[in-house]
Amino acid sequence: MKTKSLLLALVCTILCAFHASAYDFMVDGIAYNYNSNGSSVSVTAGGNYTGEICIPDEVTYKGKTYSVTLIADNAFMGCSKLKYVELPYTVTSIGVSAFNGCSLLEYVEIPYTLTSIGSGAFADCRDMTEVTIPSSVTSIGQMAFINCTGLRRINSYPNPAKISMTSNSSVFYGVPKNGRLHVLPKYLQAYSTANQWNEFTNIHDDLREGDVNCDSKVNVSDVTMLVNMILGLCPVSLPCADINRDGKINVSDVTALVNIILGIS
């Protein structure tokens, strides 16, 4: 029995070592795997993932540049020293258990291009206090936020009727239901009755499209901040600043914002 236990431990050690090094290349401490299309890559496990990390929208390796489009399954799983991650506008999917067990993770900057959040993606991220779900999200896997006990604010932009979610109550299991769920005014009733969302007891319809500076108002100060983002004078926040939701921050967003302020759109 003792021999069997030692053998099992050895096998587990080998598998863990293999998992930790099973990537195609690494740049600036971030590990990548090639995607099947040959022109893009996924962020994967094995990198130096501690503190604050900013994932680039593209990476160059051996003279070729690749677009970073996916956060792979288990990419940051168990990275207990990871605190903050900024994802680029090129990322469209967060894989299964991608941030599972990142116990010190406080926030992930999610771009407005994201379409899916995998099962268990943020499971047991107990220090995460806030998350923004952009309007582009159409799928949230089961147990995606299970046991995120510190999650006290959720900003959710999509129409809940357009989000594919498991039919049971597992997505937000362990998340405080008396925390603040902020939604767009036009979807307030939908969230109040939608499966799992209706478990939250503190739903607010105070999110505003075009509220770039997040002061619950949409006015000329938002235009000023957006222009500063475009000029590189302040950090870009894609969930707020990508007004026309094309995954880019440029003058067309300023036009869209001005139209919102004028009531044209």
Look up the pTM and report it.
0.78
Q: How is residue 152 written in tokens? A: 């006290």
- Rounded CA-CA distance 255/191 in Å is 30
Domain boundaries, the chain: 2-207, 209-265
Q: Which residues contact 105 (CB under 8 A, 6 or more apart)?
A: 79, 82, 83, 84, 85, 99, 122, 125, 127, 128
CATH H superfamily, domain 2-207: Ribonuclease Inhibitor (3.80.10.10)
Please tell me the CATH code under which domain 209-265 is placed. 1.10.1330.10
Q: Is the pLDDT of residue 106 over 90?
A: yes
List pLDDT tens digits, range 144-186: 999 999 999 999 989 999 999 977 779 999 999 999 999 988 8
| pLDDT for res 196 | 95
85-102: average pLDDT = 95
- Tell me which of 53-62, 100-109, 151-160, 241-250 is least confident: 241-250
Provide the percentage of residues in the chain whose pLDDT is more than 90.
64
